[in-house]
Amino acid sequence: MILSELKAYLQERGQATLADVVNHFDVDANVARDMLQVWIRKGQVQKLQAAASCGSSCSQCDAAATEIYVWGTPVEGRQFLRTDCG
Q: What is the mean pLDDT of residues 32-55?
A: 85
- Alpha-carbon distance of 36 to 21, in angstroms, equals 9
- Stronger pLDDT, 78 or 12, i.e. the higher one: 12
Average pLDDT of the chain to the nearest whole number: 80
Instruction: Band the pLDDT of 54: cuts 50, 70, 90.
Output: low
Query: Is 90 exceeded by the pLDDT of residue 81?
Result: no
CA 29 from centroid of its chain's CA atoms:
11
pLDDT at 6: 96
**Are 32 and 21 spatial neighbours (Cβ–Cβ below 8 Å)?**
yes
Instruction: Band the pLDDT of 83: cuts 50, 70, 90.
Output: very low
